[in-house]
């Protein structure tokens, strides 16, 4: 486990090429990037610039064509399917664009699912679910199912699910895309608070100006390559 300020993500000459029939498309090309623990950063760029592919590569959802991605010091490309599943379970939290909760599970079951995979004892699971749902403002909604919640509430459940196992990084792919601006702003502010109070690393893939304006660091991609890397504190590129 990395300490505050240490590199939690390191990408070296990361390249991902997709085949579409006879055509090869380079989604990410020779990308170098490091992300320190505790960062609240956004990866932005036009559609097709490689944002989501980059998130997939550094989270172990996908394997690079060449280059290396390290998460918490572990090389992702060396792992098989089972090891990757265990690695994501223990080190990565995901928040997706369209919430992507499991509709047949209750809020409690959705949130505790990862902890069940981790074999966390039931009493500990109950405590952590109550705590995290309180943090995201959903206390008392444990027994509801996702279709019974608003879009903003569902995305809060997704945030709770992502953070409950205290992963090294939380990857959020366009988390506000399906929310109205007010709800989106509330959600981002809530995640910013969690970042500050719990020191969790948040990495967003986004088009949303509101997220970009709140991020400490903004990485801009263009045609799968790093275009700009802007840090708010020192405004360096």
Choose between 90 and 142: whose C-beta lies nearer to another protein: 90
Per-residue contact flags (x/-) with another protein for residues 177 to 216, judged by CB under 8 A: ----------------------------------------
**Nearest distance in Å: CB 19, another protein:** 11
Among 29, 53, 65, 153, binds another protein (CB under 8 A): 53
Q: Is 118 helix (H, G, I), strand (E, B) or coil?
A: coil
Stretch that binds another protein, among 32-40, 110-118, 181-189, 225-233 (CB under 8 A): 110-118
Number of amino acids touching another protein (CB under 8 A):
40
Cα 184 → chain centroid = 16
Choose between 21 and 82: whose C-beta lies nearer to another protein: 82
Per-residue contact flags (x/-) with another protein for residues 29 to 48, judged by CB under 8 A: ------------------xx
Choose between 81 and 236: whose C-beta lies nearer to another protein: 81
Among 90, 166, 186, 229, binds another protein (CB under 8 A): 90
**Pairing state of beta strands 169-173 and 92-95?**
parallel
Of residues 72, 113, 63, the one with CA closest to residue 89: 113
Q: How far is CA 144 from CA 107, 139, 191, in A?
A: 6, 11, 22
Which residues are within 8 A (CB) of 142 and not within 5 positions of it... i.e. 6 or more apart? 106, 107, 108, 129, 130, 133
Stretch that binds another protein, among 69-77, 113-121, 187-195, 226-234 (CB under 8 A): 113-121
Considering only residues 132 through 171, tell me which ones interact with another protein, judged by CB under 8 A: 161
**Nearest distance in Å: CB 116, another protein:** 5
Tokens 């300020």: give the residue.
5
CA distance 225 to 166: 30
**Pairing state of beta strands 40-44 and 217-222?**
parallel
Do residues 169 and 91 touch, judged by C-beta distance below 8 A?
yes
CB atoms within 10 A of CB 181: 10
Contact residues: another protein, CB under 8 A: 18, 27, 47-53, 56, 59, 61-62, 81-82, 85-90, 94, 96, 100-105, 109, 112-114, 116-119, 122, 161, 173
């Amino acid at each position: 486990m990395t300490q505050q300020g240490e590199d939690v993500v390191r990408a070296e000459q990361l390249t991902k090429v997709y085949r579409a029939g006879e055509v090869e498309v380079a989604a990410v090309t020779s990308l170098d990037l490091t992300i320190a623990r505790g960062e609240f950063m956004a990866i932005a760029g036009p559609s097709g610039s490689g944002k989501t592919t980059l998130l997939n590569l550094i989270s172990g959802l996908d394997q690079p064509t060449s280059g290396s991605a390290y998460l918490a010091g572990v090389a992702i490309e060396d792992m098989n399917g089972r090891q990757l599943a265990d690695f994501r379970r223990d080190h990565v939290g995901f928040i997706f664009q369209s919430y992507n909760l499991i509709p047949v599970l209750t809020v409690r079951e959705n949130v505790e699912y990862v902890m069940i995979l981790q074999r966390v004892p039931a009493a500990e699971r109950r405590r952590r679910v109550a705590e995290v749902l309180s943090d995201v403002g959903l206390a008392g909604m444990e027994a509801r199912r996702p279709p019974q919640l608003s879009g903003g509430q569902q995305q809060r459940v997704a945030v709770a699910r992502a953070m409950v196992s205290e992963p090294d990084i939380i990857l959020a792919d366009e988390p506000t895309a399906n929310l109205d601006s007010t709800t989106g702003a509330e959600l981002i502010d809530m995640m910013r608070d969690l970042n500050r109070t719990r020191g969790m690393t948040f990495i967003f893939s986004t088009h949303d100006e509101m997220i970009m304006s709140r991020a400490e660091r903004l990485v801009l991609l263009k045609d799968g390559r790093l275009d700009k890397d802007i840090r708010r504190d020192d405004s360096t590129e």
